[in-house]
Amino acid sequence: MKDNRLPNYLFHQGTNFYAYEYLGCTLQRSEGGYIYTFRTWAPSAKSVGLISSFSGWDTPLYFQRIDASGVWELEYTSERSLEKEAYKFRISSDRGTFDKGDPYARFSRGGADGASLIFADSSFEWSDGEYLEYRKRTVTQNDGAYLSVPLNIYEMHFGSFMRHEDGRPLSYREMAVILPSYIKKMGYTHVEFLPLQEHPYDGSWGYQVCAFYAPTSRFGDPDDFRFLINSLHTAGIGVIMDWVPAHFPKDRWGLYEFDGGPLYEYQGKDRQESSSWGTRFFDLGREEIQSFLVSNALYFMREFHIDGLRVDAVASMIYLDYDRLPGEWIPNVHGGRENLEAIAFIKKLNQAVFAEFPDALMIAEESTAFGGVTHPVSDGGIGFNLKWNMGFANDFYDYVATDPLFRKHKHTALNFPLMYAFSENYCMPISHDEVVHGKKSFIDKMFGSYEDKFLTARVALMTYLTYPGKKLLFMGTEFAQFREWNFDDSLEWFMLDYETHRAFRDYVIALNAFYLRTKELWELDFSPEGFRWLLADEADKNLVAFRRYSKSGEYITVILNFSGAEQTVRIDTAPAKELSVIFDTGNTSLDERHFPIVKEGLSCFAEVKVGRLCGMILREQTDKIIIKRKIKKQLR
């Protein structure tokens, strides 16, 4: 039998980052058949038994406790494969006897039952090597600019993206047929799935996970999930998974009081539970929990080729007073509100991930001004490489919901984000959180008439795509779904039967394509050298103008007019021949796409007309480019 003293030791030290190969259910073949070894960690248990579809649900097979720190083990030999057979752990303690799912199960029945399913003998063969090599070349430090590539993420909830006519969601393999071509057509570089680990309650959207190592069985088995990821990769599309290491629900079969009392959760009441979510917080200072979670992150990267994780609710981990009133929390040893153990865990997590996958994406959903979220641990940060810019989103939605007559009072929504834009590596999110619970869909947030909503939404999306930072858009926004997102129903694809919605979808396709081919919009996202204001304080005009620069010094000019009236603005330029519109929101007349450059002393400028609720992207043109354009026009 294999000597497991080292993985056991490392597990208790918090440094076994292959913990799933030690705990859970592992398989070894022999001449006598199949040897399954079951292990679990339950230090307060008096006994642990295996109950299963193959050995009987009523008569447990009892484990042996193999160390003083609470690891239990059972070896079971079968003449046949037990793949996809169901099992649970029956744990007895001073507080009673409970049937639990395996915390390290790679497959789970989920739901109210929560039985684990053996999945120890995957036969899946990957064919995504070309994409993984591309990832290595691009998601790196390149010529002094980090992530100097376009990153345009399509965020989606798997179960409500598209459904069969009878209401059933698509399976992993059915999604693999339609999703890659759709993502490619729309111009996204990555798809980000809301959590797909096994969760009992659909209404949690996947954020209340019970079986962390098990892709949800709602849509197929783990190899079906691999098939989907492989299909996306071979189409040139990256895959990001929402990941929830902060907390877990109190379903009886899950991690909740696993061995009869708090184990995976904090022991103390001051840290143990979220009153708002009704969930338990992981004890991130406990070494065995660190092994569990870091291994879990790496498991999905190793075993499923996941390209990155969007880490949920980081603020709930790093602040002791998160979701707590005064008197409900105890300060740290320095008297502060920071959870020092959790911060140390996050650093350990990111260091472990980047040591093995330097081309991974670790994206923080962190809603506060905590410093250094995307700074390397070696520089005093906590080591993520991207952070959601949630402050921009909240202020911006309030701005576009305001009557243009009064937008001047909220102009800081447009210019203030550049005060901190380069303090972190930001991702600009138009996310699922903002299109539910009465907040309205993206299109319906816009102020005004039906027509003005669409005009404003076009300028809003141009704003989001031209400001510094990587991009994320939630499903349904791309065709202007009016109804709020409903996790229990399909997107309203029938809206594309209407010309206005088809035209909006086509605009998003064109805007994304422009973004992907325009290096000024992504080469220097995280450097002040990539951005310069031209008009930052035109509050009375509801207008801003700025330049975005590439590494070679080339630039484009962006003008965004959120006013209900046409504006004429003076744009300073180099001594070129004209300033020409190279992309707009669709309401610029053909005779207003080229503006002559005027010399005045040592300065040059152009007078640019910008339509109401209109966005324009322009480039200074030389004689050579103008002649080429005229020849093309004549040939038409």
- What does the domain layout of the chain look like in residue ranges? 5-117, 529-635
Burial bucket for residue 552 (CB in 10 Å: 0-12, 13-18, 19+): exposed
With beta carbons less than 8 A apart as the criterion, state whether 527 and 418 touch: no
The per-residue pLDDT for range 313-370, each reduced to its tens digit, is: 999 999 999 999 999 999 999 999 999 999 999 999 999 999 999 999 999 999 898 9
Paired strand residues for 584: 616
The pLDDT assigned to 129 comes to 97
Which class for 443: exposed (0-12), middle (13-18), buried (19 or more C-beta within 10 A)? buried
pTM of the model: 0.95
Q: What pLDDT is stored for residue 3 in this prediction? A: 81
- Determine the Cα–Cα distance for residues 72 and 93; give it in Å rounded to an integer: 14
Q: What is the CA radius of gyration of the chain?
A: 27
- Best CATH choice for the domain 529-635 from the list 2.60.40.1180, 2.140.10.10, 3.50.50.60, 2.60.40.10: 2.60.40.1180
- Residue carrying structure tokens 């109210």: 112
Q: Could you give the CA distance from residue 460 to residue 154 in angstroms, rounded to a whole number?
A: 17
Q: Do domains 5-117 and 529-635 have the same CATH topology?
A: yes
Q: Point out which residues pair with 342 in neighbouring strands.
A: none
Nearest to 512 by CA among 583, 431, 415, 456: 583
Mean pLDDT of the chain: 94
* pLDDT at 634 (0 to 100): 53
CB-based burial, 458-481: b 16+ in 10 Å, e otherwise? bbbbbbbbbbbbbbbbbbbbbbbb
Main-chain phi, psi angles of 226, to 5 degrees: -60, -40
Q: Is 341 a catalytic residue?
A: no
Task: Identify whether 58 is a catalytic site residue.
Answer: no
Q: Please, are residues 282 and 245 in contact by the beta-carbon 8 Å criterion? A: yes
Give the whole-angstrom CA distance, residue 214 versus residue 212: 6
Q: Are the C-beta atoms of residues 437 and 394 closer than 8 Å to each other? A: no
Give pLDDT, residue 121. Answer: 87
What is the distance between the alpha carbons of residues 428 and 461, in angstroms, rounded to a whole number?
11
Q: Which one-letter DSSP state was computed for residue 237?
A: -
pLDDT of residue 576: 86
Dihedral over Cα of 289, 295, 301, 304: its sign: negative
Q: Which of 221, 224, 242, 365 is catalytic?
A: 365
Fold assignment, 5-117: Immunoglobulin-like (2.60.40)
Cα separation, 221 vs 217, whole angstroms:
6
Residues of the chain with confidence (pLDDT) below 50: none
Single out the catalytic residue among 312, 424, 520, 523.
312
pLDDT at position 30 is 86
